Structure 1
Amino acid sequence: MDQPTAAQPTIRRARPEERDAIARLLGEAFMDDPVSGWVFPDETHRRTAHPRFFGVMLDAALREGWVDVSEDVSAAALWLPVPAEEAHGTGSTADDPDAGAHDGSDRDGDGDDGGEPTDETAELLAAADPGNERVVTVARLTGEAHPTGTAHYYLPAVVAAPCRQSAGLGGALLASALDRCDRERMPAYLEASNTRSKALYERLGFVFCGRTVDLPGGPSLWPMWREPRA
């Protein structure tokens, strides 16, 4: 007798009124992320600064790209369209989709400018934790590594709440967005922040760009690129 298969999680676009809940989700999910631990080494301060910091990237995705969430908003993925002539890093990372990382209105990638956060957004990231030079450093180094010259979709963050890890939510979020990439013949880009997530992304078709982003005295990130599948 065939065993029943688990129902696939429902993935939908985030609603504007869910913004604060998603910001809290991002802050919670990133608490154990190695890059966040380097940027915000004090755990108590990290817990306070995270919602502000990730809220800046969330607002950029809601404004310029799109945010996918699970039906109960226990998982989310942020996406930004990057035009060929605009590819500047944000200082964020994408991590294990089911473990917390480092996927508004749906603009379908055809906004006026789209693209990665501007210098103004970079300033807002720095202002989220005034005086923290590591915020500036990670933004600069990831910006230098970000590919240029080819339009693509950028994944700053995909997370699942700690209590919902290993439930397939992150994978469902990624499948939804990567299906879109394939339909639109659009490459995708992210930075993995540990070897486990790097291996997972490789199984999804991402390829390591060949040079890590090494944070001074801290962890490394793996820039990864995915060409659309036929």
Structure 2
Amino acid sequence: MGVAIRVAGEADRELVVRLLDEAFQDDPVSGWVFPDPAHRRATHPRLMAAFTDVVLAEGRVDLAEDGSACALWLSVPAGEHEAGGDGADEDGPAQLRAAVDPDNERVELIGRLTADVHPAGRAHAYLWMIGVSPERQGEGLGSALIGSVLDRCDSEGLAAYLEASNDRSRALYERLGFVVTGDPLDLPDGPRMWPMWRDPRPE
């Protein structure tokens, strides 16, 4: 499908935060981080805002022109990986917890656990999050957003990486050429995440 995509700026911040909040409210990992539904509704937007601010400052947010979907990307140099929620600062998970939900250790833990499984060594594009409005899911918007970056990765010979947080997203990423790399991440008393890697395809 033809999807008009542009790079988001600061003026789009609230739209991106809302998209991510709506898309991930019922995600298994968000439910694990914020088990109480009322607390999740109140606090989850702050976590999505923190993620958005990092990527607006350090990466790239692709936004469907009609505001229905967004994708957050970071560029990871060879030999480095992101430390779960703050860019390169390894104290980021603790800072994130302090800013978002100080009494909730899972806000910090998810950052540390995903950082631990993040592959180091090769430069890659890191798809941190992708959000599609719930009423627009299943229309191919996610595939279009990711595909535009993967085309660029292929032309530049650059790998891509992400963590799938549910079976539906994992299946989408597999169709786009990602494969599970290493062992799945089983969150303590929680759901499973799948680290996934995609080598560039020759043109």
TM-score normalised to the size of structure 2? 0.93
Q: Are 2:82 and 2:115, in contact at CA under 8 Å, matched by a contact in 1?
A: yes
| Alpha-carbon distance in 2 for matches of 1:137, 1:171 | 29
Secondary structure, counterpart of 1:216 in structure 2 = coil
Q: Are 1:11 and 1:69, in contact at CA under 8 Å, matched by a contact in 2?
A: yes
| Alpha-carbon distance in 1 for matches of 2:180, 2:83 | 17
Q: Are 2:81 and 2:118, in contact at CA under 8 Å, matched by a contact in 1?
A: yes
Q: What 5-or-longer segments of structure 2 have no aligned partner?
A: none
Q: Are 1:89 and 1:145, in contact at CA under 8 Å, matched by a contact in 2?
A: no
Equivalences, count: 201
Larger helix share, 1 or 2: 2
Match of 1:90 in 2: 84
Code of the aligned partner of 1:64: E
Match of 1:96 in 2: none
Quick one: which of 13, 17, 23 aligns to 1:23?
Answer: 17
Sequence identity (%)? 55
Secondary structure, counterpart of 2:168 in structure 1 = helix
Quick one: which of 102, 126, 132 aligns to 1:160?
Answer: 132
Q: Are 1:28 and 1:47, in contact at CA under 8 Å, matched by a contact in 2?
A: no
| Alpha-carbon distance in 1 for matches of 2:167, 2:139 | 20
| Alpha-carbon distance in 1 for matches of 2:6, 2:84 | 25
Structure 1 pair 117–23 and aligned structure 2 pair: CA distance change class (3 A) = farther
| Alpha-carbon distance in 1 for matches of 2:43, 2:77 | 30
Greater than 4 Å deviation, 4+ residue runs: none
Match of 1:119 in 2: 90
Q: What 5-or-longer segments of structure 1 have no aligned partner?
A: 1-6, 92-114
TM-score normalised to the size of structure 1? 0.83
Deviations 1:40-70 (A, max 9, x none): 0111111121221011111111111100011
